[in-house]
Chains A and B, each alone.
Chain A
Amino acid sequence: MFYREAGDFKTSYEADSQTFPIAFDRYRYWVILAVAYLVIPFLINDYWANAILVPFLIYAIAAIGLNILTGYCGQVSLGTGGFMAVGAYSCYKLMTSFPDVSIIIHVVLAGVITAVVGAAFGLPSLRIKGFYLAVATLAAQFFLVWLFNKVSWFYNYSASGQISAPERMLFGAPVTGPNTEPWVQYMVCLVFVTICAIIARNLTRGTLGRSWMAIRDMDIAAEIIGVNPLKAKLTAFAVSSFFIGISGALFFSVYLGAVEVGEAFGIQKSFLVLFMIILGGLGSIFGSFAGAAFLVLLPVLLKVIGVDLLGWPTDLVSHLRLVIIGALIMFFLIKEPHGLAQLWRIAKEKLRLWPFPY
């Protein structure tokens, strides 16, 4: 009744090609933005910021990045953790080398550096496909982690081998370092997420996104009808790595403050982000958010239920978490290979008819 195209007249090309063609979706979008920007910052406390909201926003950026590569362009990557590490370490080097430049510029530059690295590791994708490529990206993962561990220039020769973010201000409030307020962390990540999501959504709707999808659906056929595979694959790697780099930079500087590369950006991180996009939905920006929210919330929820309510030991709950995540992934692949995003699409179809049967 409320959710339908009928009666929503478009009188210009811009209106016709907008992101949300249904009026209800547009209102929903603005309401969510308003809640995220105007309500949550005033309610947020340390627990919510650190346990749920900030990791959710940061993983959402990483999931959008990986979704562009895997979901839209069909190139499976297991190197996400390594690319996040590139973002984190380049952000650290920039922060310590140019202390007077704004942190925002550092984060964006970290993304650009990661994009270059990602494109370099994407070069073999022109020859290697499918599983072979997935394994080849493992080379990036292990090599990059090893590099940041062994070459002490990257962590400024600190004795512990860790990198820790110095305090940086933005509009008079500390953004990084131990004195950061939770709402500042949240707002910085939120601004980045919003911009990244808008960029990603529009890229995937445009020429570039279509060439990615053509490559994903059948690369030889795409090549024959004139899609340049070199350009499509390398841009997918670069754009994807750009987002992943930004998320790595935020993960290090704003969220954790100090990281050790093998622990924070190991192979487990690559799998975590991959699971986010499988559960959320391959080839969907909404799915990236849904998957990130799901996999950030699930451990917290299990911990609250298992440890706090039932009083089980922590290691038992963490084993149960593995079982549940694994079972969910298999369940989703069997029942709904397109993930949470597909459930959302089905719900929208139903809403369009509601309350009438046809």
Chain B
Amino acid sequence: MSSEFLYGIEVIINGLMAGVLYALVALGFVLIYKASGIFNYSQGVMALFAALTLVGIMEGQVPFSHLINAIFGTELHHFGWEVPAFLAIALTVVVMVIFAWLVQRFVFRHLVGQEPIILFMATIGLAYFLEGVGDLMWGSEIKTIALGLPQGNARWLEDVTSALGDDTFYGFFVRQLDIVAALVAMVLVTALIVFAQYTKQGRAMRAVADDHQAALSVGISLNFIWVLVWSLAGVVALVAGVMWGAKSGVQFSLSLIALKALPVLMLGGFTSIPGAIIGGLIIGVGEQLFEYTIGGPFLGGATENWFAYMLALLFLVFRPQGLFGEKIIERV
């Protein structure tokens, strides 16, 4: 095989790995959208917030220390202990559940029955709010996640695959972290599907997604289900936040992955979990391949900033409901 072809395959593999992470964020969107019709723009900031909380708990930071110091003139920074990773993760999940309950109780309960676009804008407000709270709580400097996730490229894969090409080819360069992320994402998706298909709460969740009124009439508590899906979305956000945070540090730009998840959703359809995954893979591979073949050599690079949106835009012109979305029927 020629090396160019092999490099092409390497680009595709890396694109797939990036796509898995996009899909992970998109999954959080789909969960909330299906159950409550809310298009949750703050998903990316939730990922950021969850990652910040995890790091903050692990390092034993005092929440809101900057604010407290500014008001009372104290010098608080750390509790002086370090929390083991599994306990910190459990605590972060608790924080995300509390967050879900607060959001449901104080914001979206009051917005039931509003137009979707109003709900969307409310989540943009929520995103700003949460970003500010996250910064106030844990400080805004770039943090690293010390969960012991493997870094660097996967040597064994390079060794195995270098035999495929000639002397100039040194094997596929894939980061170990990406492989771990892909595995975790697969486990997470399987767990979600099992939860939705085989548990009582999961069935209730699907019932709500299907028809709010009918679900209400058979005795399913909408409030509970909404808190549940927001909590699930929070857990998904935590996983996405940890994976992205381990890759590029926990910082503000993490919240921008929400924007990257939007074209994924447009491709896959807002209501479909498989759609979110396949959409993520298409976008991941598409933008890497475009950058490799056309963007880098001819357009001056950095095309991944907009390629996903353009792809989704073109795609939507021909299929407005996305790949797997329900057919849009409009009545007057």
Contacts and interface: CB of A to CB of B under 8 A. Distances in A.
B199 to A, nearest CB: 30
Interface residues of A, number: 49
A326 B130 contact: yes
A99 interface: no
Given A138-B309, A143-B306, A323-B133, A220 B125 contact: no
Interface of A is mostly: helix
Contacts of A218: 332
A1 interface: no
A313 interface: yes
Given A76-B117, A132-B266, A146-B302, A139 B309 contact: yes
B95 interface: no
B309 A319 contact: no
Interface string B121-137: 11011111111110110
Interface stretch (A6-14, A35-43, A330-338): A330-338
Contacts of A220: 330-332
A329 interface: yes
A322 B300 contact: no
Interface in B150-169: none
Given A128-B316, A323-B132, A142 B309 contact: yes
A199 interface: no
Given A142-B305, A329-B121, A330-B107, A127 B135 contact: no
Nearest to A149: B302
A40 to B, nearest CB: 32
A329 B266 contact: no
Contacts of B132: 319-326
Contacts of A313: 66, 70
B332 to A, nearest CB: 5
B174 to A, nearest CB: 27
A330 B266 contact: no
B273 interface: no
A329 B124 contact: yes
Interface string B109-126: 011001011101110111
A334 B109 CA distance: 10
Interface string B307-327: 001101100110010000000
Contacts of A149: 302
A127 B110 CA distance: 32
Interface of B is mostly: helix
A33 interface: no
A332 to B, nearest CB: 8
B309 A330 contact: no
B316 to A, nearest CB: 5
A150 to B, nearest CB: 4
Interface string B67-93: 100100000000000000000000000
Contact of B259 (A138, A316, A321, A333): A138
A312 B136 CA distance: 13
Interface in A287-325: 310, 312-313, 315-316, 319-325
Contacts of A68: none
User: Which of B136, B265, B331 has most chain A Cβ within 10 Å?
Assistant: B136
A124 interface: yes
B309 A136 contact: yes
B310 A139 contact: yes
Interface in A86-140: 124, 127-132, 134-136, 138-139
User: Which of B117, B299, B331 has most chain A Cβ within 10 Å?
Assistant: B117
Contacts of B305: 142, 145-146
Contacts of B312: 135-136, 139
A267 B305 CA distance: 12
A316 B66 contact: yes
15 contacts: A76-B120, A128-B316, A128-B317, A131-B120, A138-B259, A139-B309, A143-B309, A322-B129, A322-B132, A325-B132, A326-B127, A328-B125, A329-B122, A333-B122, A334-B110
Given A131-B120, A275-B125, 5 more contacts: A76-B117, A142-B309, A150-B301, A326-B130, A337-B114
